[in-house]
Structure 1
Amino acid sequence: MKDTLLFIPLLFISNLVLPQNPYKGDKCIVKSEFIYQPDEVKFPSCHASTIAEIPGGFITSWFGGTAERNPDVGIWISRYANGKWSKPEEAANGIRENNKRYPCWNPVLYNSGDEILLFYKVGPSPSEWWGELIISNDNGISWSASRRLPENILGPIKNKPVLLKNGILLCPSSSENDGWRVHMEMTPDNGITGTRTLALNDRKIAAIQPA
């Protein structure tokens, strides 16, 4: 009985003192809707979506095509403005100079304040892909030509980078060519140059796509 009497007052005090989170379950969802209908696009499969805030709305991106790993998979975007999503457009693909086409993977949007960065991967598989980047100066209406990231730099693999106080963009990344290994990448100039850490996990602990 003593334990019960002690427990009840402590529980009551904790409910008064500790901040309560009013956003639980469905309360966390502001709005839920489809960006497009199946008959509005030419690709049957999509995956790995990313979103960023822009003035007056949002921009989102994903990779889409016949199926993951197919050469026709490209990077698609849609913009949310005036209460509706724009028709999806292909912002990047894996067509090379020799007209050979590789699949695209895992777009990651980042709003630097001055421009929208769209990192993504190109290559036949996750163990062979490389990082590329396109940039928009008009909130996703138009995009630059694709630029391959520096050697051994893949960019943020799936989740958003974080801007540090010293101006370095810290990109959570990973590789799959020598087991599943997590590492971090740092760029002071939004992907023009970059460095990376050594793997943060050994092969006994398989991990990719850090957040």
Structure 2
Amino acid sequence: MDHDHASSNDATGTHREAAGIQREAARIRGGDAGIRREFVTVDDPRWTQCHASTLAVVDGVPVVAWFAGTREGTPDNRIRVARDGRMSTLDTGRAVAHWNPVLAAGPDGALWMFCKAGARISEWVTLVTRSYDGGATWEPVRELVPGDRSGGRGPVKNPPLLAPGGPRWLAPGSTEEWGERPRWDPFVDVSDDGGLSWTRSPIPVEHAALTGAGHIQPALWWGADGPVALMRSTEGRAYRSVSSDGGRTWTPAEPTGLPNNNSGLTAVALPSGRVACVHNPAAESWGSRCPLVVSLSDDDGLTWHAGPIVDDGAVSIDPAVPRLLNPITGTGFEPGDAGVVTSGVAEYSYPAAVVTSDHLFVTYTWQRRGIVLARLPLADLEPKTP
């Protein structure tokens, strides 16, 4: 088979699929009536911007964390935690910028929180702590991999995946090198001892075939034949990789038809085996972060179709909170090793998701002014029975 010809056909097919999802995302309102949205926080005077929420549900109670400060990457950014209407600040003992908290139920039954600390993305250190009371109190913070200064170990945005039957725990990570020729590389950190030690397993990336820096921030689920990774990318589409040995090795990252704007996405397996991905459907790097939608896959992320809209800026979450609706003035992203600079206008992004018995819980950034918690009925996401 002519490899170049086959690649061209694949690219045409995935571009067509991405265009279809974009068209559907602009049209679909089905299931929207069942979505419930509320602010976890908004316009808090203690900070100017907040971002990168993470979510766990403990005994039916949502626990949400995020970072907040002057803007992304400034030294005053700290990790905030909200539970039952109460808010606290995670004490790490470090007077540097904090980034990307990740909550996850651990193999030991505790609630784990991972986060990044450092002045620059390329210098991140991963910190970790645990809570045995559902996020009310936390153990002293420690480094996940002591002494590691490679730009972060463990999960970078989405939670670790526990292998069926355990004890293997797979943490989706990535590194970012900035400068004249930025380079991004995804990996999966593997732990077989309950999170005490980690071994990094790279997801191969053919950088010579890319127009941009690469892929980061994988989301993991356990598919029909093993773990699957879906990645944010600079290429206008999400990329996918699979493992046939439980996460020890991974196939080279390949493009899918799911549009990606080079912003964080999340993906979870639903009870039926269908996969739900929450993302922005723009198909260009640093593209629009509005709307925020759900796309659905019945073949472990190979193909996708459009689901409900989570937020498109037209939804009034709280009539007392004014929306900044100007889609032109003050928008745009200025990315760099020290973080993104943006006004947050018209941004609904960076989702986290958890599946319960009857709902998909989603948190996301709202105009960098707040964090929203949305509840989507699973009945609107699962295949319809005749």
The root-mean-square deviation of aligned C-alpha atoms, in Å, is 2.1
Tell me, what secondary structure is at the counterpart of 1:34?
strand
Tell me, what secondary structure is at the counterpart of 1:67?
coil
Alpha-carbon contact 1:120-1:155 (below 8 Å) kept = no
> What is the CA–CA distance in structure 2 between the aligned matches of 1:121 and 1:66, rounded to whole Å?
17
- CA shift for structure 1 position 103: 0.5
Partner of 1:38: 43
> What is the CA–CA distance in structure 2 between the aligned matches of 1:184 and 1:24, rounded to whole Å?
36
The residue identity in structure 2 corresponding to 1:107 is P
The residue identity in structure 1 corresponding to 2:102 is V
Alpha-carbon contact 2:170-2:190 (below 8 Å) kept = yes
TM-score of the pair, normalised by structure 2:
0.43
The residue identity in structure 2 corresponding to 1:207 is H
Structure 1: where are the runs of 5+ without partners? 1-22, 96-100
The correspondence of residues 172-183 of structure 1 with structure 2, limited to 5 A, is 172-177=172-177, 179-183=183-187
The correspondence of residues 67-78 of structure 1 with structure 2, limited to 5 A, is 67-78=71-82
Q: Compare 173-182 and 128-137 and name the one that shifted more.
A: 173-182
Alpha-carbon contact 1:108-1:158 (below 8 Å) kept = yes
Instruction: Spell out, residue by residue over 1:155-179, the C-alpha distance to the aligned partner (whole angstroms, 9 max, x if none).
Output: 1110111101341110111001371
The residue identity in structure 1 corresponding to 2:62 is F
Partner of 2:102: 108
Alpha-carbon contact 1:94-1:122 (below 8 Å) kept = no
Partner of 2:137: 142
% identity of equivalent residues:
33
Partner of 2:171: 171
Instruction: Spell out, residue by residue over 1:90-109, the C-alpha distance to the aligned partner (whole angstroms, 9 max, x if none).
Output: 114461xxxxx210111110
- CA shift for structure 1 position 65: 0.8
- CA shift for structure 1 position 134: 1.1
Closer, same or farther in 2 for the Cα pair 1:124/1:202, shift >3 Å?
farther
Partner of 1:90: 89
Q: Compare 186-195 and 71-80 and name the one that shifted more.
A: 186-195
The residue identity in structure 2 corresponding to 1:145 is P
TM-score of the pair, normalised by structure 1:
0.76
Partner of 1:195: 199
- CA shift for structure 1 position 200: 2.1
Alpha-carbon contact 1:72-1:103 (below 8 Å) kept = yes
The residue identity in structure 2 corresponding to 1:164 is A
- Are residue 62 (structure 1) and residue 56 (structure 2) matched? no
Alpha-carbon contact 2:167-2:194 (below 8 Å) kept = no
Of 28, 32, 36, which aligns to 1:26? 32
- CA shift for structure 1 position 38: 2.2
> What is the CA–CA distance in structure 1 between the aligned matches of 2:34 and 2:215, rounded to whole Å?
28
Alpha-carbon contact 2:110-2:132 (below 8 Å) kept = yes
**What number of residue pairs does the alignment pair up?**
177
- CA shift for structure 1 position 71: 0.7
> What is the CA–CA distance in structure 2 between the aligned matches of 1:207 and 1:192, rounded to whole Å?
27
The residue identity in structure 1 corresponding to 2:53 is S
- CA shift for structure 1 position 24: 4.5
Partner of 1:210: 218
Partner of 1:12: none
- Greater relative contact order structure (CA < 8 Å, 6+ sep): 2
The residue identity in structure 1 corresponding to 2:47 is F
Partner of 1:162: 161
> What is the CA–CA distance in structure 1 between the aligned matches of 2:73 and 2:187, rounded to whole Å?
24
Give the number of the structure whose alpha-carbon radius of gyration is greater. Answer: 1
